[in-house]
Homo-oligomer: A and B are copies of this chain.
Amino acid sequence: MLRFTLRQIEYAVTIWDHGSVAAASTRLGVAQPTLSAALAKLEQQMGLQIFIRHHAQGVSPSPAGLRFLTEARNLLSHAQDFQRGVVAAGSAVEGELSLASFATIAPAFVPPLIKGFMSLHPDVTLRMAEGTQTELYAGLRSGLHDVALLYAVDMAEEFTFTPLASLAPHVLLPATHQLAHLKRVPLAALKEDPFILLDIAPSRTYFTRILDSVGITPRIAFASPSLEVVRGLVGQGLGYSILITRPFGDHAYAGEELAVRPIAEDVEQGVIALAALKQLRKTRLVAAFESHCVQYFNTIGAAS
């Protein structure tokens, strides 16, 4: 158990600096007896006499007290530095921000987002992570991440969601497909085609829900958790797919040309949101990042 308080240390060091209890009391804004009693108690708890009292001439440190006070001042500085750091972390936009992002969202949006944010707030260190929706939620719950960039589905009560953008899914066809010449492809026309599923939670349920909404029960030929593998399979002519994420250049990894077409039907859009734990009080840093995200997605006009 600690036998002293920081306040006692602060008092003792101030008395040392002023060479007098009375002078220190005005400096600290407390009454002189308060200091006198606090000092006496500190000395008693430490079992060490710190000051020699000179009647009507203040006090001066004893030899042992001098060593005590020197170390005490170190400790006090440490405490003050600590507080400065904490106050800064809570009130200024600086420190460390842990951002997690859904795997298919990350490549397109995270780089420009953090570039913009870092240029606004150069003192911020960003820590990044990717994962499935389940991992992101677990990470928020456990305090691993401050915020997560994800699709606004499976939204539990315990999180707050700030909608950032609404993205339309598109149909992905081999360039050689007979419907590839259409500006907009009706899903109904693909009813009999083999379907290639991007199989990550929650994308899996989202895409099947879309097909269900237009009355299609897909014939799932392949399923892969990798976006690029799905695109490659489509490129090989093995079926069609529905995706939201659209990498630059409509070619698969191996180079096969792909046809990317809007869906003719009116289907549910994918809403990208920034999620955070509801019970967690927002730091200024998190608030700043959140508003930067909103502003960024407004700028690129992704919200439809």
Binding site for B on A (CB under 8 A): 2-7, 10, 46-49, 52-54, 60-68, 71-72, 74-75, 78-80, 82-83, 85-87, 89-91, 95-98, 141-146, 277, 279-281, 283, 285
Q: Do A62 and B280 form a contact, CB below 8 Å, given A5-B5, A86-B46, A89-B68?
A: yes
Q: Are B71 and A144 in contact (CB under 8 A)?
A: no
Number of this chain's copies in the assembly equals 2
A90 to B43, CA, bound (A): 11
Q: CB < 8 Å: which of B53, B64, B67, B98 contacts A279? A: B53
Q: CB < 8 Å: which of B5, B65, B68, B279 contacts A6? A: B5
Q: CB < 8 Å: which of B6, B71, B277 contacts A86? A: B71
Q: Are B283 and A90 in contact (CB under 8 A)?
A: no
List 5 A-B pairs, minimum CB-CB distance, nearest first: A49-B281, A48-B90, A47-B90, A62-B143, A63-B146
CB distance from A231 to the nearest CB of B (A): 35
Q: Are A78 and B78 in contact (CB under 8 A)?
A: yes
Q: CB < 8 Å: which of B2, B64, B79 contacts A95? A: B64
Q: Are B6 and A10 in contact (CB under 8 A)?
A: no
Q: Which residues of B contact A97 (CB under 8 A)?
A: 63
Q: Which residues of B contact A64 (CB under 8 A)?
A: 89-90, 95, 146, 283, 285
Q: CB < 8 Å: which of B7, B60, B63, B68 contacts A98? A: B63
Q: Are A75 and B82 in contact (CB under 8 A)?
A: yes
A49 to B285, CA, bound (A): 13
CB-nearest residue of chain B relative to A47? B90
CB-nearest residue of chain B relative to A2? B6
Q: Are A90 and B46 in contact (CB under 8 A)?
A: yes
Q: What are 20 A-B contacts with C-beta separation under 8 Å?
A: A2-B7, A3-B83, A3-B87, A46-B87, A46-B90, A47-B87, A48-B90, A49-B281, A52-B141, A53-B279, A61-B143, A62-B143, A62-B146, A63-B96, A63-B144, A63-B146, A64-B283, A67-B89, A71-B82, A74-B82
